[in-house]
Amino acid sequence: MEFFERFAIPHPDPMIYASMVAIVLVSIAIVAGLTYFKKWGYLWNEWLTTTDHKRIGIMYLISALVMLFRGGADAVMMRLQLSSPEMEFLNAQHYNEVFTTHGVVMIFFMAMPFVIGLMNYVVPLQIGARDVAFPRLNALSFWLFFAGAMLFNISFVIGGSPDAGWTNYFPLASNEFSQSVGVNYYMWALQISGIGTLMTGINFVVTIFKMRAPGMKLMKMPMFTWSALITNVIIVFAFPVLTVALLMGTFDRQFGTSFFATGNGGMDMYWANLFWVWGHPEVYILILPAFGIYSEIISTFSQRNLYGYKSMVASMVLISLLSFFVWVHHFFTMGQGALTNSIFSITTMAIAIPTGIKIFNWLLTMWKGKIRFTVPMLYSVAFIPLFTVGGVTGVMLAMASADYQYHNTMFLVAHFHNTIIPGVVYAMLAGLTYWWPKMFGFILNERIGKWAFWFNVVGFVLAFFPMYITGLDGQARRMYTYSESTGFTPLNMLSFVGAGLMAIAFILIAYNIFYSIKNSPRNVGDDPWNARSLEWATHNPVPEYNFAIEPEVNSSEAFWDHKKKKHTLFKGKIDKIHMPNNSGIPIIMAGILFVFGFSFVFSIWPAVIIAAIAFFACMMYSSFENDQGRYISADEVKETEEKFGGASK
Amino acid sequence: MKLKWTLLTFIFTIATVLTGCEPLLVLDPKGPQAATTADVIWLSIITMAFIVITVLVLLIIILVKYRASKQDDDYEPPHIEGNPIVEGIIVGIPILIVIFLSIVSVVSTYQVETVPEGYEDQEPLVIYASSSNWKWHFSYPEQDIETVNYVFIPTDRSVQFKLYSHGPITSFWVPQLAGQKYAMADMVTTINLAAESAGEFMGRNANFSGEGFAENTFNVIAMPQDEFDTWVDDIHATADPLTEDIFNELLEPGHLGQLAFTGTHLEFSPPPEGEHGGHNHGSSDDTEQSEDEHDDSEHDHH
Amino acid sequence: MKIDHSQPLEYSTHKNEMNILGFWIFLGAEIMLFATLFTSYFIYENRFGNGPSGAEIFEITPVLIETVVLLTSSFTIGLAINAMRLNRPKAMLWFLGITLLLGATFLSVEIYEFVHYYHVGATLQTSAFTGILLTTLGTHGAHVTFGLFWGIAIFLQVKKHGLNPETANKSFNYSLYWHFLDVMWIFIFSFIYLKGMM
């Protein structure tokens, strides 16, 4: 029994027991359902072993949506706890676990897979490629992310959640102050999914450099592809820093090193430095693809080309460079002196310049346009003023002297949600709605979508704008309770109402998916939005091989040219197409790493060693495997194209 | 679209009314340092409001003017690559704003990092403020007293807080007197401030430090110098001496009320500065004393 | 697969070109990884608490042996790739084999070195300095170990299939990896050992 005691929850609570039961029941239901409908084979052959970038993209998106609800539930719980003073809904320990989980889940397991999922689906199509450069590695990336996400999500029912905040500052996160295995989970869940992300980065940089359609020079790539390229370059350079930080953190907690300890030569501030050297570029890893998505959508629904293409690219490159030189602004208050703070204050504010350029370029794209207010466009239109507020409060925070007052308060919380929600989350919702017909061949219901949009925006404003005020009134972040005399009550109540409206919005979005699967017309054609870039030149939903004939391109709006300027996209005739084979290796390797991570969390060394050996055995097996892929015959391609109503329109 | 803007106005009205009753702490400074930050904040709010309003107005005009429902069916929007003059403006104006704010930021940062203006020739009152889970200990080396969870300071006098922590990183914050600064276990950081009116001010740890974080607060009571001196004498007359055992008990995780002692813990549990600092530990440019220590440690190993 | 005969074998297909570019980018990430470790090392270099400093525990002899052995192995892997370009699989296998032996020698000496550190009381737990020293060296050592297994796999594949676009491509990437480890070792040698002993 002693062996099993380590898996017990250190701070039990009826809600956690209820979740355990729910998790077990849902798992049983899924297994039973799959068995009853005989879907195991389908699931394994078509999805779990797939190397198709489109299916991997969809799996990323499904995971991201599920995690959105997990993180969202945490958010509502926090707002409820703070809605009135001296609330007794959560105690301090649980509140700490909830906000830690909320942060980690939203950044690593919601925003990251959402971004990477859309990149997976869209980038190869936008550059006219048949797949990514390394399809099997791509599958491995996804499954590593998934293993990391699962590892993190079981923490609250087995062994306890991390409770040191998503930034996980030492020495608070050390064994001395965080005694459960929660932070071990944090380390390994992030490590495993981080390695997956790093591989995605390598994969997409090669894909974009080496697999573009003939004629697509770098300066003729659609803006989303540009943003994806820059994002993945940032990933390649930023994520190794996280890898080292997590390794050192793991060593501190599990092998007794003293890197971030308070004695023995350790330095607690060094974790904060390492974390933010990775963490600030991470912010741009999330926001740049969002900028790319907005560029596509605003241009499409204004029926105009993107204004200032070159300055858009230049500003993204500039942002990516600057993003590595601003990390200190996350702790101006560490006492590094006025000079250092001044330098980082200026570099941080400098980021406002390229960002400002982008805002004005979007405005100028709409200027003289013909604006249609579809759901994706509504999100993009709301994004502009809301993100501007988020951006300018960022500039306010960048002023070091004033930051001494904003730091660690609700003002900061309001600021970063004000950039991440209208910036990243709206972009993901807009992108999902925009590319939905590309993925599934029908449009999500616009009416429900618009309702969800309004709930989202009004909810957002109500939830987060009051925080600017309470922050200036002295409400620190991460406080699980406050007394009535502080006067925070009305505004926090307002925040809670806003959070409730946002929850309704997301439920509406989920409902819309079910509703549209059942009711939406299926004959939307291949170009439902009157779009401009190359991904719309193939069919909806996209056939396995993407393009029957490799397109030829001479501008960033190849499809628009094809429609309006009689540019011939598809020259040549249909030939056999080389496709990668499915492989079970990625999911098996990720499963092994899951076991590895789990055993490591609990220091079960024999299992760790066995898992490590098994992992390398898989790599060895892969190395010796002779997989040349397969061909889809020309006849089969022709047949599929006929079904979609004629080859290469 | 109208709905949204009505709502926004509505919210801002509510916010103003709600906060109109009492000024926000950060914007209600009681000393020169907080006054500087409050001025910077107001200045930046005004500048930023100008930007936000510009973007909003442009956006509304564009949306109203170029929405599809208002245009002919056969209107084909033009292809416009860009225009050097327009792009010059949208680059130039942000650059000017950023330069302006950078200057403000740098100047004010230097200001709040040093002794407040007008107090330069005074000898500052030095108080060591150290945090432990989840308390604040204030040691007055000069007065030879120590308090827990409250601190008395004289008004119109430069006060220097020396901050460090007995555990996790914390952040010392008295919004009405000055901005935050971290208290950490292996170095001492400094805040210079002054209170220019008597009163009781809220102070707290602003940096998450575990279970008892929310209640990790303290009071700052500012009073004229003569009252302060009387208070010090009172403590000497009434309080018990602080011994190492008592202090170790105080360090145990938990919450305590307000306490006062004679003597400080600095003698038996020195702060991490000078030879005790983590930074200097064993580094080559050490003081003589730690050179000796260094030698000792060598001996230990051979 | 289209094979472009105007290119060396390892670059001859589009797939191969992508593999090599991908591998370079991977090495870019590896450089960031080691750069972070080196930065951390410099941060902790003088923070040895009550433990020993670098000057007290570094021994010149094993370090010199390691350096010479690894530099030589970098040379032999270069010869192996040269032999591959000349389409002489046998010679290539010889040089690859020598490289692997030298790698194994390096690793043995490094293990000896670690045992020595253990005996003089410099373990992971001793201080932040010894911790980062062993982590940095250990990360490099783990890379070499991985490289040995990978090298064996390539050796067997070249032996079995001869030189074709695929094996040539793998061998080429492997040589990049091995050179990279050598470069990292030069940094370790100069900035950890030499600087520490001075």
Give a yes or no: residue C122 inside a domain: yes
Percent of chain B with pLDDT over 90: 71
pLDDT at B284: 38
**What is the phi-psi region of residue B256: left when phi exceeds 0, alpha when psi lies from -120 to 50, beta otherwise?**
beta
The whole-angstrom distance between B252's CA and the closest CA on chain A is 12
Give a yes or no: residue C108 inside a domain: yes
Strands B150-154 and B217-223, how do they pair?
parallel
Q: A472 contacts in B (CB within 8 Å)?
A: 24-27, 41
CA atoms within 13 A on the CB side of A216: 29
**What is the phi-psi region of residue A8: left when phi exceeds 0, alpha when psi lies from -120 to 50, beta otherwise?**
beta
Over 70: is that where the pLDDT of B17 sits? no
Total domains present in chain C: 1
Q: C1 contacts in A (CB within 8 Å)?
A: 578, 628
pLDDT at B30: 94
Q: Residue A102's Cα: distance from chain center in Å?
A: 14
Percent of chain A with pLDDT over 90: 84
Rounded to two decimals, the pTM is: 0.94
E strands, B206-291, where? 217-223, 240-241, 259-262
Q: A211 contacts in C (CB within 8 Å)?
A: 18
pLDDT at C9: 86
Residue bearing the bigger pLDDT, A648 or A516: A516
Percent of chain A with pLDDT over 70: 99
Residue A370: beta bridge partners?
Answer: none
Cα–Cα distances (Å) from A231 to A112, A131, A273, in that order, read 11, 19, 21
Find the helix packing angle between A489-519 and A53-82, rounded to 10°.
Answer: 150
Over 80: is that where the pLDDT of A1 sits? no
Q: Which amino acid is at A305?
A: N
CA atoms within 13 A on the CB side of A331: 23
Helix (H, G, I), strand (E, B) or coil at B160: strand
For the stretch B282-293, pLDDT in tens is 433 333 333 333
Query: Which residues form the domain of C17?
Result: 9-197
Q: Do B301 and C121 touch (CB under 8 A)?
A: yes
**What is the phi-psi region of residue B137: left when phi exceeds 0, alpha when psi lies from -120 to 50, beta otherwise?**
beta
pLDDT at B275: 67
Q: Which amino acid is at A318?
A: L
Over 80: is that where the pLDDT of B5 sits? no
Q: Look up residue B21 and give its two tokens.
A: 């009753």
Which positions in chain A have a beta carbon within 8 angstroms of at least one beta carbon in chain C? 133-134, 198, 201-203, 205-206, 209-211, 236-241, 243-245, 247-248, 251, 255-259, 261, 263-267, 270, 274, 277, 578, 616, 620, 623-624, 628
CB pairs under 8 A between A and C: 112
pLDDT at B287: 37
Q: C127 contacts in A (CB within 8 Å)?
A: 258, 264-265
Q: Which of B62, B115, B219 to mutate to test the interface with A (most CBs of A within 10 A)?
A: B62
Helix (H, G, I), strand (E, B) or coil at A92: helix
pLDDT at A645: 67
Give a yes or no: residue C1 inside a domain: no
The whole-angstrom distance between A237's CA and the closest CA on chain C is 6
The whole-angstrom distance between B290's CA and the closest CA on chain A is 14
> Which among A392, A473, A494 has CB closest to B24?
A473
Percent of chain B with pLDDT over 70: 84
Q: Residues 6 or more apart from A551 whose CB is under 8 A from it?
A: A128, A213, A534, A537, A558, A569, A570
* CA A465 – CA A455 distance, rounded (Å): 15
- Angle at alpha carbon of residue A558, lines to A555 and A564, rounded to 5°: 110
Q: Residue B154's Cα: distance from chain center in Å?
A: 20
Burial environment of residue B284 by CB neighbours within 10 A (0 to 12, 13 to 18, 19 or more): exposed
Q: C153 contacts in A (CB within 8 Å)?
A: 620, 623-624
Mean pLDDT within A251-267: 91
**Is the Cβ–Cβ distance between C143 and C182 less than 8 Å?**
no
Q: A258 contacts in C (CB within 8 Å)?
A: 49, 125, 127-128, 131
* CA A100 – CA A118 distance, rounded (Å): 26
Q: Name the helix (H) or strand (E) containing C20.
A: helix C14-44
**Is the Cβ–Cβ distance between C124 and C134 less than 8 Å?**
yes
Mean pLDDT within A552-561: 90
Q: Look up residue A495 and give its two tokens.
A: 């925040």
pLDDT at A628: 84
Give a yes or no: residue C2 inside a domain: no
Residue bearing the bigger pLDDT, B22 or A246: A246
Least confident of A639-648, B93-102, B152-161: A639-648
Give a yes or no: residue C3 inside a domain: no
Does C3 reach chain A within 8 Å, measured CB to CB? no
Q: Do B282 and C53 touch (CB under 8 A)?
A: yes
> Which among A367, A400, A473 has CB closest to B66?
A367
Q: Do A169 and B208 touch (CB under 8 A)?
A: yes
* CA A254 – CA A184 distance, rounded (Å): 8
- Angle at alpha carbon of residue A506, lines to A503 and A508, rounded to 5°: 110
Q: Which chains touch B (3 or more CB pairs under 8 A)?
A: A, C
Q: Do B102 and A346 touch (CB under 8 A)?
A: yes
Residue bearing the bigger pLDDT, A360 or B292: A360
Q: Residues 6 or more apart from A158 whose CB is under 8 A from it?
A: A7, A9
Q: B91 contacts in A (CB within 8 Å)?
A: 311, 353, 357
Q: Which of C42, C43, C53 to mutate to test the interface with B (most CBs of B within 10 A)?
A: C53
Find the helix packing angle between A426-440 and A268-301, rounded to 10°.
Answer: 50
Q: Which chains touch A (3 or more CB pairs under 8 A)?
A: B, C
* CA A135 – CA A128 distance, rounded (Å): 16
* CA B131 – CA A43 distance, rounded (Å): 55
Least confident of A5-19, A435-449, B186-200, B244-258: A5-19
> pLDDT digit of tens for each residue in chain C (198 aa)?
577 888 888 888 999 999 999 999 999 999 999 999 999 999 999 998 888 998 899 999 999 999 999 999 999 999 999 999 999 999 999 999 999 999 999 999 999 999 999 999 899 999 999 999 999 999 999 999 999 999 999 999 999 999 999 999 999 999 999 999 999 999 999 999 999 888
Does A302 reach chain B within 8 Å, measured CB to CB? yes
**pLDDT range class, residue A646, cuts 50, 70, 90:** low
Strands B125-132 and B159-165, how do they pair?
parallel
The whole-angstrom distance between B265's CA and the closest CA on chain C is 23
Mean pLDDT within A21-45: 90
Q: C49 contacts in B (CB within 8 Å)?
A: 281-282
- Phi, psi of B148, rounded to the nearest 5 degrees: -125, 130
Does A366 reach chain B within 8 Å, measured CB to CB? yes
The whole-angstrom distance between B121's CA and the closest CA on chain A is 21
Q: Residues 6 or more apart from B78 whose CB is under 8 A from it?
A: A304, A368
Give a yes or no: residue C106 inside a domain: yes
Over 90: is that where the pLDDT of A224 sits? yes
Which CATH number is C114's domain given? Answer: 1.20.120.80
Q: Do C1 and A211 touch (CB under 8 A)?
A: no
pLDDT at B285: 38
Of the candidates A549, A437, A585, A532, the one whose C-alpha atom is nearest the C-alpha of residue A134 is: A585
Q: Which of A343, A392, A396, A405 to mutate to test the interface with B (most CBs of B within 10 A)?
A: A405
Q: B281 contacts in C (CB within 8 Å)?
A: 46-47, 49
Over 60: is that where the pLDDT of B190 sits? yes
Q: What is the dihedral sign for C-alpha A277, A280, A286, A292?
A: negative
Does A555 reach chain B within 8 Å, measured CB to CB? no
pLDDT at B283: 38
For the stretch A336-357, pLDDT in tens is 989 999 999 999 999 999 999 9
Mean pLDDT within A442-467: 96
- Phi, psi of A168, rounded to the nearest 5 degrees: 55, 45
Q: Which chains touch C (3 or more CB pairs under 8 A)?
A: A, B
CB pairs under 8 A between A and B: 287
The whole-angstrom distance between C193's CA and the closest CA on chain B is 17
For the stretch B42-82, pLDDT in tens is 999 999 999 999 999 999 999 999 999 888 888 889 988 88
For the stretch B138-161, pLDDT in tens is 999 999 999 999 999 999 999 999
* CA B250 – CA B137 distance, rounded (Å): 9
Over 90: is that where the pLDDT of B13 sits? no
Residue bearing the bigger pLDDT, A6 or A112: A112
**Is the Cβ–Cβ distance between A235 and A200 less than 8 Å?**
yes
The whole-angstrom distance between B217's CA and the closest CA on chain A is 11
Strands A630-632 and B125-132, how do they pair?
unpaired
Q: Do C18 and A210 touch (CB under 8 A)?
A: yes
Q: A209 contacts in C (CB within 8 Å)?
A: 21
Segment 137-176 of chain C within 8 Å of chain A by CB: 149-150, 153, 156-157, 170
Query: In terms of CA atoms, which chain A residue is nearest residue B96?
Result: A353
pLDDT at A469: 95
Of the candidates B80, B90, B81, the one whose C-alpha atom is nearest the C-alpha of residue B58 is: B90
Q: Which of A371, A389, A419, A469 to mutate to test the interface with B (most CBs of B within 10 A)?
A: A371
Q: Which amino acid is at B134?
A: W
**Average pLDDT over chain A, rounded to an integer:** 93
